[in-house]
Amino acid sequence: METQIDEPPGDATVPASLKADSLSEALPDIKKFHGKTIVIKYGGNAMTDVRLQEAFAHDVVLLKLIGMNPVVVHGGGPQIDEALKKLGKKGEFIQGMRVTDQETMEVVEWVLGGEVQQDIVGLINAAGGQAVGLTGRDGGLIRARKLKLQDLKDPSKFHDVGQVGEIESINPAVVKALQDDAFIPVISPIGFGEENESYNINADLVAGKWAESRGAEKLVLLTNPPGVLDKEGTLLTGLTARTIDDLFADGTISGGMLPKLSSALEAARSGVNSVHIIDGRVPHSLLLEILTSQGVGTMIKSH
Ligand code: ADP
Ligand code: MG
């Protein structure tokens, strides 16, 4: 890695002994997570600030260099909305899923698979890592089919949300090969169907399914609220399947938090050891979550 000589050597207000303590505190986690897959959803809403983006990229590179296998799945809601606006279109959502007509699908493909993915790849590379961007089409990574969205209140009713997909299968071969070669995969949540048609898949679902199917140690979903909030707006630091059911039932969870929390719970139930929804607006929230005892969001457990 390049040495930066034009920057001051860290924050001089933090005593050296404290810095040493923090590094030392990380040792058990570094050992525990060595060689383990850590799936990180980098959310549309958590990636709107350049400084935070750079800090995120540094964290991912650091995790890779100390021996973990980070896999980044990215979103891009705000970026897609912006592109749609330029075309005079407005994003529409049903139960947190973007209604995706053909024109919207084209926008989703070029915004996610082009701009957003390449921005993240560039940031990770600038931080000293080697990132490779992939969509679900590359190496046959994500096979998808059209999602029939079940109504939350009336299970006999289904919504047509256009070219929104659900994952049929994942073929991890290309990602495995990249990881073995010290690359960091950055995956755009676009799947492809039997006739090579494209599907827009909610990135939280891709991250969750990826973590499940790869037996990941951790799933970390970075977002822009501080985590899951209760009706009063207070952070819920720990949730289990039962409390989550209650939150769904009483309407505490809505919009983009619906697929996020379902996906997190599903991953926890399928054996992903630790699942967290954290505040991507806190600088280095990823490192804080993985390498310190300081929680920065909501931990989801199956029971
Ligand atoms: P991301 O880009 O991170 O996926 P989303 O907009 O899809 O972000 O999902 C996060 C949003 O979910 C929050 O900004 C908030 O508006 C909404 N939300 C709904 N219910 C809750 C809740 N109980 N706690 C936190 N956020 C919630
Ligand atoms: Mg979302």
Q: Give tens-digit pLDDT for 14-40.
A: 889 888 988 888 999 999 999 999 999
pLDDT digit string, tens, across residues 98-109: 999 999 999 999
CB atoms within 10 A of CB 65: 12
Q: Which of 152, 223, 228, 230 to probe ligand 1 with, by most ligand atoms within 8 A of CB? A: 223
Angstrom distances, CA of residue 170 to CA of 94, 174, 178, 204, 303: 25, 11, 16, 15, 27
Residue 210: closest CA among 146, 147, 275, 164: 275
φ, ψ for residue 86 (rounded to 5)? -60, -30
Beta bridge partners of 131: 184
**Protein residues within 5 Å, CB atom, of ion ligand 2:** 256
With a 6 Å cutoff on the Cβ, whether 133 touches ligand 1 is no
Residue carrying structure tokens 């619906």: 258
Residue 37: closest CA among 74, 63, 4, 3: 63
Instruction: Report the alpha-carbon distance of residue 206 to residue 195 in Å, rounded.
Output: 20
pTM reported for the whole predicted model: 0.93
Per-residue pLDDT, 10: 58
With a 6 Å cutoff on the Cβ, whether 66 touches ligand 1 is no
Are 71 and 187 in contact, with CB atoms under 8 Å apart? Answer: yes
Q: pLDDT-based confidence at 110, cuts 50/70/90?
A: very high
C-alpha of residue 280 to centroid of ligand 2, in Å:
13
Average pLDDT over every residue of 250-255: 95
Q: Which of 224, 239, 248, 250 to probe ligand 1 with, by most ligand atoms within 8 A of CB? A: 224
Q: pLDDT-based confidence at 11, cuts 50/70/90?
A: low
C-alpha of residue 263 to centroid of ligand 2, in Å:
11
With a 6 Å cutoff on the Cβ, whether 235 touches ligand 1 is no
Dihedral of CA atoms 201, 204, 210, 212 in degrees, nearest 10, equals -130
Residue 74: closest CA among 19, 15, 135, 125: 135
Residue 4: closest CA among 128, 122, 129, 119: 128
